[in-house]
Structure 1
Amino acid sequence: MTTNKKRALFILRISFLFTTDNSHYVKLYRLYKFKINTLNLTNNLTDFPKNVTIFQLGGLYISTYVKNDFTVSSNKNYLDVELIYNYLHDEAYWSKGIPLRLVEKSIQNSICFGVFAGDPEKGKSKQVGFGRIITDSSTFAYLADVFILNEFRGLDLGKSLVQTMINCPSIREVRRILLATKDAHGLYKQYDFQAVKDKNLFMDINQKDIYNKLS
């Protein structure tokens, strides 16, 4: 076994960040898309956790296939920025009117996850969902801009996306993970999110018309 393959296996064994089912398989890539190894997790690998997800760790990208030929990937190279912008600008209640440059800047400065119909690594895919994490990777993380396109809802893709995001290795040690939602409380409760009990605990500056001023 080559050194690269041993390193990839070692990372998987110490990560314990696995959250779909073991009928899926994981592909590991170097930052420059050099293929290291493909692990088929359908076998009885008792030394691996039961479930598997995707994340980005250092120079490695890890992609996990989810059911019905959909893929979740943390590789920013696969993101359809125009699709993300169109949704956030035109449809998302929390960001309508956001300028393209701010969407691009937010992607650049976040850990991002795309949901795809097909396999983006093979070039035959369509992005159908997105989410990003804002974090210092030490004490705090915020889940933002999480969405699945309307025509692809009802396939549990939102669950796969959120599950993948909260198991990202960059936020494994943070003390608090926050998010804001108007209508998806049921989804997030499945992953241990709870309403803030003490409403006096948090304060915010909410510039609701900021995008109108910038346009």
Structure 2
Amino acid sequence: MTSSLPDGYAISTDPARIDTDRVHAWLSEDAYWALGRPRAQQDKALAGSLNFGVYDAASGEQVAYARVVTDAATFAWLCDVYVDRSVRGKGIGKAMVTAIRDHLEPLGIRRVLLATQDAHGVYEEVGFKPLEHPERWMALYFS
């Protein structure tokens, strides 16, 4: 299963290309899971993650972002997936998540987890499934 980016867009894992101001604005102002996230916390998260950006090939402007927290050997957590409102509906999100899946698969990672409130269908198209044994999973929450 492959999904390529629409013509005129390119994906990169180069952290130097990430428009950190734009990503912080997207997440802290428009993403339900990260509303109000402080800039210092976002920068720290970005620094400790494998980052993916999608860019308009003509202008170089970043139009989408996702990050993966991983040991690059056994486990990965896909998070902060965001596509700019101006380019939604073009298949950029699905193509980006497919590229992330294809980037991680050869590393030997056993599972990639994510949490979503409203995009289950998009992730299912890329191969994600509900947890097989959710009763085995636990979380530690800090207030």
Relative to the length of structure 2, the TM-score reads: 0.91
**Offset, 1:154:** 0.5
Q: Using the alignment, how far apart are the partners of 1:183 and 1:73 within structure 2?
A: 26
Q: Which structure has the larger Rg over C-alpha atoms?
A: 1
Uncovered stretches (5+) of structure 2, i.e. residues with no partner:
none
RMSD: 1.9
Uncovered stretches (5+) of structure 1, i.e. residues with no partner:
1-17, 22-65, 211-215
Residue 179, structure 1, aligned to residue 114, structure 2: yes
Q: Using the alignment, how far apart are the partners of 1:87 and 1:171 within structure 2?
A: 30
Query: Which residue of the other structure, out of 13, 24, 42, is the alignment partner of 1:85?
Result: 24
Contact kept? 2:66, 2:80, Cα under 8 Å: yes
Residue 202, structure 1, aligned to residue 137, structure 2: yes
Q: Using the alignment, how far apart are the partners of 1:134 and 1:195 within structure 2?
A: 19
Matched residue, 1:134: 69
User: 4+ residue stretches of structure 1 with deviation over 3 A?
Assistant: 18-21
Structure 1 residues 176 and 156: alpha-carbon distance in aligned structure 2, compared to 1, 3 A threshold: same
Q: Using the alignment, how far apart are the partners of 1:80 and 1:135 within structure 2?
A: 22
Q: Which has the higher contact order (CA 8 A, sep 6+)?
A: 2
Q: Which has the higher helix share?
A: 2
Matched residue, 1:157: 92
Q: Which has the higher strand share?
A: 1
Query: Which residue of the other structure, out of 125, 128, 131, is the alignment partner of 1:193?
Result: 128
Contact kept? 2:3, 2:94, Cα under 8 Å: no
Structure 1 residues 197 and 167: alpha-carbon distance in aligned structure 2, compared to 1, 3 A threshold: same
Letter of the structure 2 residue corresponding to residue 140 of structure 1: F
Secondary structure of the structure 1 residue equivalent to 2:135: coil
Contact kept? 1:135, 1:142, Cα under 8 Å: yes
Q: Using the alignment, how far apart are the partners of 2:51 and 2:88 within structure 1?
A: 20
Relative to the length of structure 1, the TM-score reads: 0.62
CA-to-aligned-CA distance 1:104-149 (integer Å, 9 cap, x gap)? 1111111100011125xxxx31111000110011111000100101
* Number of equivalenced pairs: 143
